[in-house]
Amino acid sequence: MKNVSGESQTIRFDAFELDTGAGELRKQGVRIRLQEQPLRILQMLLANPGQVVTRDELRKGLWPTNSYVDFDQGLNRAINKLREALRDSAESPRFIETLAKRGYRFIGDLPTQSASGDSIVVLPFINMSPDSENEYFADGITEEIINALAQIKDLHIVARSSVFSFKGKPVDPRVVGDQLNVRTVLEGSVRKVDNQLRITVQLVNAADGFHLWSERYDREMKDVFAIQDEIARSIAQRLRVTIEGDEAKPLVKPGTQNLEAYQLYIKGRALLYKRGAAIPRALDSWRRAVTVDPWYALAWAGLADTYTMLGYDGFARVEDSMPRGWRPLSGPWQLIPRSRRRTPLWRCLTC
Q: What are phi and psi of 13, to 5 degrees?
A: -155, 135
Give the model's pLDDT for residue 328: 53
In angstroms, the first-to-last Cα distance of the chain is 54
Give the model's pLDDT for residue 132: 82
Give the model's pLDDT for residue 168: 87
Give the model's pLDDT for residue 346: 44
Low pLDDT (below 70) residues in the chain = 1-9, 28-29, 63-69, 111-117, 242-248, 312-351
Distances from the Cα of 215 to the Cα of 13, 198, 202, 208, 227, angstroms: 32, 11, 7, 20, 11
Q: What are phi and psi of 252, to 5 degrees?
A: -95, 120
Give the model's pLDDT for residue 349: 40
Give the model's pLDDT for residue 117: 62
Condensed to tens digits (0 to 9), the pLDDT of residues 73-87 reads: 888 888 999 999 998
Q: Which residues contact 241 (CB under 8 A, 6 or more apart)?
A: 118, 152, 153, 154, 155
Long-range contacts of 31-40 (CB under 8 A, 24+ apart): 32/85, 33/85, 34/81, 34/82, 34/85, 35/78, 35/81, 37/62, 37/74, 37/78, 38/78, 38/79, 38/81, 38/82, 38/85
Give the model's pLDDT for residue 179: 81
How many of the other CB atoms lie within 10 Å of CB of 11?
A: 17
Dihedral sign for Cα 317, 323, 326, 331, please. Answer: negative
